[in-house]
Amino acid sequence: RMPILEQCYNLMDFEAVARKVMKKTAWAYYSSGADDEITLRENHNAFHKIWFRPRILQDVEHIDTSATMLGTKVDMPYYVTATALGKLGHPEGEVVLTRGAKKHNVIQMIPTLASCSFDEIIDAAEGDQVQWLQLYVNKNRDITKRIVEHAEKRGCKGLFITVDAPQLGRREKDMRSKFDDVGSNVQSSSGSEVDRSQGAARAISSFIDPALSWKDIPWFLSITKMPILLKGVQCVEDVIRAVEAGVHGVVLSNHGGRQLDFARSGIEVLAEVMPVLRERGWQDRIEIYIDGGVRRATDIIKALCLGAKGVGIGRPFLYAMSAYGLPGVDRAMQLLKDEMEMNMRLIGCSKISELNPTLIDTRGLGMH
C-alpha cells in the first residue's frame, strides 16, 4: 500500500514511494546514473564528510531563510533544477514544478528537453515568478539562437548552458527499460526518429553539439542580455576560465551522476574552488552554484557556508511529483523550509548572509 503524503518526513521518503508507484521505464530514467553509479551515490555521501561548528547564544528567535540568486530574491537558497521528460512521472509534467516553485517562491530552471513546451511552462508561471532556461546547444546554431532569443523575450532571467554532456552518459538501467512514451515535443526537438534501444536519454539527445567549446562563449554573450552560466563545471581551472570568459556564474555539477562516472561531487569541487577565488579576490566576480545529492537543508547550509550562492535540487521534486503530484512537491518544499529554519537556529545563524566557512569542519574532505 502506498504511504499517505503525511508519512513522508523527508526528501528521501518520496524516493522510496516513487520507486514503488512509478512506471518501470520512468523510474529507470529518473533514478539512473552513469555506469556503476559511483558518482550518483557519492553526490549525497560527500556531504557526510563535512561537520558543523555551531555557535551558541546568538538570539535565533527569528530565522530568515531568504536569499538572492542572480538578482532575484527567493524564500530559500535552492532552485528546482532542469530535469528532462517531466511527463514520464506525471501527466501534466513540468508545470507541476512551476506551481510548486511559485507557492514557495523559488526559481525553476526549465529544461531544453521538457515534455511540456517551453511556452506552456512559461505560461504556467504567475505574476513576477522567475524562471531560468537550461540550454543544450544544438549543432544548428540558428535553432539555438532562436531558443535563446525566445527565452529572453518571454522573460527568462538566466541562461544555463549545459557543458557536461557532449555525449550522453551510459545509463544502463535506462537502456534496459526500453522507454516507450516520452512525448512528441521532445521527439520533434531532436528532429529525427529516435532509437529506442539506447534508452530514453540517449534517444532524445542526438542533436547536442559535441564540438561546443570556449570559442563559442563570446557568441552566447553577444546574442543575449540574460546572465549566462555554465552548468557542469568540475574543477577550479575551468572556474577561472569561466571568469576570464566573462560568464556570470557556474554550476559545479556532474549532472546528477548521469554523465562521467567518478566525477567528483559538486560539494567537493566547491571546497576546491572557493579558496582559490578568495585568494584572487574573485569571489564576487561570479556566482557559484552546486547541484547533486542535495537532500537535506543541512546539505544546503554546508554549500552556503563554503561560499555557494545556492543549490539546485533535481530528483527529489521529480519523485514527489510522480508520487503525489503538486501536493507532493508542496510538501517536499515545506519540509526543506522547516529543516532549514531548525538547522540555521541550531547552528546559530538567523540570516543566510551569516553562513560562513568558520561554521563547518571540512577536514573530512582532506583538503587542508
| Residues taking part in catalysis | 136, 164, 255
- Cell readout for 298 is 543541512
The count of C-alpha atoms lying within 13 angstroms of the C-alpha of 221, restricted to the half-sphere facing its C-beta, is 15
Shortest distance (Å) from residue 354 CB to ligand FNR: 25
Q: Is 174 in the site for ligand FNR (CB under 6 A)?
A: no
Choose, by CB under 6 A, the member of 314, 330, 332, 335 that binds ligand FNR. Answer: 314
Subset of 237-256 contacting ligand FNR (CB under 6 A): 253, 255-256
Q: Is 288 in the site for ligand FNR (CB under 6 A)?
A: no
> Across-strand partners of 159?
133, 228
Q: Is 189 in the site for ligand FNR (CB under 6 A)?
A: no
Contact 34, 96 (CB under 8 A): no
Q: Which is nearer to ligand FNR, 172 or 354 (CB)?
A: 172
Contact 115, 186 (CB under 8 A): yes
**Residue type at 56 in one-letter notation:** I
Choose, by CB under 6 A, the member of 39, 65, 131, 134 that binds ligand FNR. Answer: 134
Subset of 8-47 contacting ligand FNR (CB under 6 A): 29-30, 43
Count of residues near ligand FNR by CB under 6 A? 24
Choose, by CB under 6 A, the member of 80, 113, 147, 360 that binds ligand FNR. Answer: 113
Q: Is 291 in the site for ligand FNR (CB under 6 A)?
A: yes
Report which DSSP code applies to 64.
B
Report which DSSP code applies to 138.
B
Neighbours of 23 (CB within 10 A): 15
Shortest distance (Å) from residue 295 CB to ligand FNR: 8
Phi first, then psi: give them for residue 51, nearest 5 degrees.
-120, 160
Q: Which is nearer to ligand FNR, 317 or 324 (CB)?
A: 317
Measured CA to CA, the distance from residue 96 to residue 327 in angstroms comes to 9
Measured CA to CA, the distance from residue 186 to residue 190 in angstroms comes to 7
Q: Is 296 in the site for ligand FNR (CB under 6 A)?
A: no
Instruction: Name the one range near ligand FNR by CB under 6 A: 3-11, 17-25, 82-90, 322-330.
Output: 82-90
Q: Are strands 72-74 and 67-69 parallel, antiparallel or unpaired?
A: antiparallel
Q: Is 159 in the site for ligand FNR (CB under 6 A)?
A: no
Report the candidate in 142, 152, 89, 163 with the shortest Cα–Cα distance to residue 118. 152
Phi first, then psi: give them for residue 366, nearest 5 degrees.
65, 35
Q: Is 294 in the site for ligand FNR (CB under 6 A)?
A: yes
Shortest distance (Å) from residue 27 CB to ligand FNR: 10
Measured CA to CA, the distance from residue 84 to residue 113 in angstroms comes to 5
Q: Is 81 in the site for ligand FNR (CB under 6 A)?
A: yes
Angle ∠(330,336,338) on CA atoms, nearest 5:
100
Shortest distance (Å) from residue 128 CB to ligand FNR: 24
Nearest residue to the partner ligand FNR, using Cβ: 314
Question: Which spans of this chain sit near ligand FNR (rule: CB under 6 A)?
Answer: 29-30, 43, 81-84, 111, 113, 134, 162, 231, 253, 255-256, 258, 291-294, 312-315
